[in-house]
Chains A and B, each alone.
Chain A
Amino acid sequence: MTTTDPDEPTPPINPPIIPPVSPPNAPPMAPPVAPAVAPAAAEGGGGPRALARQRRRASAARFWVRYRAHRSGLLGLAALALLALIALTAPLTIGSDVQSVTDAPGRPMESPSLEFPLGTDQFGRSLLGLVVWGSRVSLLVGLLAAVLSVAIGALIGITAGHFRGWFATVMMRITDWFLVMPTLVLAIVLATVLSRSLGTIILAIGVTTWPTTARLVRAQTLAVESRPYIERAKALGGGHWHVMSRHVLPNVMPLVLAQTTLIISSAILSEATLAFLGLGDPTVVSWGGLLQDAREAGAVSAGKWWYLVPPGIAIAVVALAFTLCGRAVEAVLNPRLGVTR
């Protein structure tokens, strides 16, 4: 199902036109930053670089202006900022003691009260504190898994787009193969094979969700490399590394960014899913882990809704916020998709 298929593209970014990714419409936002820069950029001096920086700043400002027009995107961004703040300040506001089972302040599974606004868990720990504390792990895992996934995807996409030939064929075959793998199944298998830790979860999600990114990035790379200034850069002696890092990468960055935002959303859902299936690290507090604890403690049939509802809502809110941001970014890059403002 979609919620658990981390690699399932959120549709707007990748209307699945099956016959292959045709060279996509060039993102209107990143119109060749480089043409003017390119000739000089080959180990150029300070001037052209400063110019390039200036242009990038300008395009970033343009991006922000357009992004601002998307109300849902702003909403998502605001939600994320708030959540990030809560997660980052958690050590100050609630402290890591909230995890301690021996110093738990309440009785097991107390219902919400003034002292414990969201009640307590099976050990008598404050659920509000745990949900806040759990945001650190859930967000961290989501971010790292998405970064890992997009990094792999971008690396394979750019190299496969740049080098062509047998290398590209092999890479795209591998990508295609991963694309048909049932992601959740593969992630479950990986999490089972490796020992239970956060690293395992991050790896399991990252390794199984990169193919969509790889395909998108490769298509974009092909489009960028077909532009004439790349020819010029090559003629001026720019090596593979130079072309990929100086010309291709900056141009696929916006796409990569949008993709990361969307993948974080599904990575957080995947983390919750794996933890819920008991494949997470049982000693770490995360939202999925809380849900699994609640279920194992029998909170569902005992009617202890306060144990079950907050972590689920937290997951949904974060996933939704990232999706909204991703869609807004996507809409800025490709206005034809007509995302609701």
Chain B
Amino acid sequence: MDTHGRYGTRGTVLRLLAVAGTAALTLTVGLVTPLNPAPQRAEAKDGKQVLTVAVAQSVDSLSPFLAARLVSTSIFRLMYEYLTNYDPKDDHAVPGLATKWEPSADKLTWTYTIRDNSEWSDGRQATAEDAAWTFNTMMTDQGAATANGNFVANFEKVTAPSPTKLVIELKKPQATMAALDVPIVPKHVWEKVDDFTKFGNDKSFPVVGNGPFILTDYQADSYVRLKPNKSFWRGAPKFDELVFKYYKDGDAAVAALQKGEVSFVSGLTPAQAAALKTQEHVTVNDAPGRRFYALATNPGALAKNGKKFGDGHESLLNQKVRRALFMAVDRETVVDKVFQGYAKEGEGYIPPRFSSYFWKPADGQKISYDPAGAARLLDEAGYKKNGDGKRVGKDGEPITYRVLCHATDPPDKAVGKYLQEWWGKLGIGVSLDCRDNVSDPWLAGEYDLAFDGWSVNPDPDFVFSIHTCAALPATPKDVGATDNFICDKKYDALYDQQLAEYDAAERAEIVKRMESRLYDTGYMNVMAYPNAVEAYRTDQIASITKMPETAGNIYGQDGYWSWWSATPAAAGGSSDDSNQTGVVIGIVAGVVVLAGLGAFFAMRRRATAEDRE
């Protein structure tokens, strides 16, 4: 036997163990030590007032030319001034970088007056030249058109005759020219970029901007940090720092709010909202939402060149069937059970929050919950039950609809379960097809029904444009702007009419007629308008502007009002008490762990000492 070898081995192992033990001790000490109050309330230290916002999305890009997520576009609102902004009271367009805008008599030329008191954070003046450069870049560079290309699609030419004058020439009239949600970037910084698809705007800080905040730091998947722009023309924000912190897990974000680690959380579930309502120093803001939540049917996917594609169920082409299906959807239950009251029952296409465009069906027109009537309608339409109680299609097969759902969206799955039972009673099967990313079957038209929802902007043009024939893909190979392949001549005529109508009241009337038409076709069945349910700490935020001001939301506004207007609460929150207890318990726990470890290592040392005897 190789004695030497055995001893050598033992030595190695013991050494390894010793190293591991020491490392563990070091780490444990490292873990235990920070049980002191400092990290508990980082925002309180050195007297800085920090507003921390928990967000559920991570930033996809900090380049305004690329980013599409709500969190990113919300941050752009803070970093860059747009031509116009929306009034927090009633959403009408108010001055942003432009102080004035007016169309020519032929409706094809818009002239914007650019303010002379907006400065980039590096000290240079923001001018019409910056705006013209931004639009021209998007019109000429494919890469720069990635995010906001749709805004410039109808632009003929953009020029800046003087530093305060911007002229946009259109191909055809467009009523939405006071709603160009495009961040204007500083030309002198961005003209150095070669490839817009590769430039993330996240390498050199602070990022030059002219919005109410200046971006100072960014850690991917972690946080975005901004400081107030002291020379912002509308006045500097009140907080000393604004942080958007990313929480993958909604519960973690809510827990962070309960502890005061963050000041604001959005996207609460009903259970979370109910629990937070009883919490001290927390206000739950249950605001009418900007979203509609609908069930879209596949009307037979079609391309502009007339080619049909996809495989939507033939029975859905029958308007009676679509009507019957929706008659069997109990919208009250959806609001009551799925949203647990944090929603409004769905009616027209535009949520009631946008009062000037809100429309609801007249009594005779309204599709009410009526399962028996639904069964009758289906019988009338020729989809009768077979021996097994299943309704059969024209091909003689029992009907089972594939319903596309977003796996990440809890209401989709919940409503899906109800649909299975409601339609199951009608004799129609439902197979829920939940996916993380539904775009593939959706774009290919390979579905029967789908959960659908859009956030509506103050100017509703976009959500209407996606149901026009013009939005269909050119060929089945292209991707169109269309939402679910609706193509209806009457609707299109109304759409064109409203886009060319520059009188607001007239336009609203036409918009309502479009909604009525859309309701009757039964392709988009709005089930609910989910509320924006948010909460913030009143011991950190004293006041904050909602939008609409009377009862509106805070996160994801069409402007920078909330964060710009937020005022810090007086220092010295009462949550210090619980921190004191925390510190005491933390210290006790730390001492116990340390004592245990100490004893363990003392025993080891004693044993080693004996070993040497």
Contacts and interface: CB of A to CB of B under 8 A. Distances in A.
CB–CB under 8 A between A and B in the complex?
Answer: yes
Interface of A: 100-102, 104, 108-109, 122-124, 192, 195-196, 278, 282-283, 293, 295-304
B537 interface: no
6 contacts: A108-B340, A278-B436, A297-B271, A298-B268, A298-B270, A301-B250
A100 B421 contact: yes
A237 B251 CA distance: 68
For chain B, give the interface size range: 35 or more
B420 A283 contact: yes
Contacts of A300: 251, 255
Contact of B418 (A101, A302, A304): A101
Interface of B: 249-255, 258, 268-272, 274-275, 333, 337, 340, 405, 407-408, 410, 413-414, 416-418, 420-422, 432-436
Contacts of A283: 413, 416-417, 420, 432
B269 A101 contact: no
A12 B60 CA distance: 46
A102 B422 contact: yes
Contacts of A297: 269-271, 410
Given A108-B340, A109-B271, A295-B251, 13 more contacts: A101-B337, A101-B417, A102-B418, A102-B422, A196-B407, A282-B407, A283-B417, A296-B269, A297-B269, A298-B251, A298-B269, A301-B252, A301-B258
Contacts of B418: 101-102
Contact of B436 (A104, A192, A301, A302): A192
Nearest to A295: B251
Contacts of B272: 298, 301-302
A299 B407 CA distance: 18
B54 to A, nearest CB: 11
A305 to B, nearest CB: 12
Contacts of A299: 251, 271
B interface secondary structure, majority: helix
A interface secondary structure, majority: loop
Nearest to A100: B421
Given A282-B413, A301-B258, A122 B271 contact: yes
A299 B255 CA distance: 11
B255 A301 contact: yes
Contacts of A101: 337, 414, 417-418, 421
Contacts of A304: 271, 275
Contacts of B405: 282
Q: Which 5 A-B pairs have the closest CB atoms?
A: A298-B269, A301-B254, A302-B275, A300-B251, A298-B272
A279 to B, nearest CB: 8
Given A300-B251, A301-B251, A282 B434 contact: yes
Contacts of A195: 433
A101 to B, nearest CB: 5
Contacts of B333: 102
A304 B272 CA distance: 10
Nearest to A282: B413
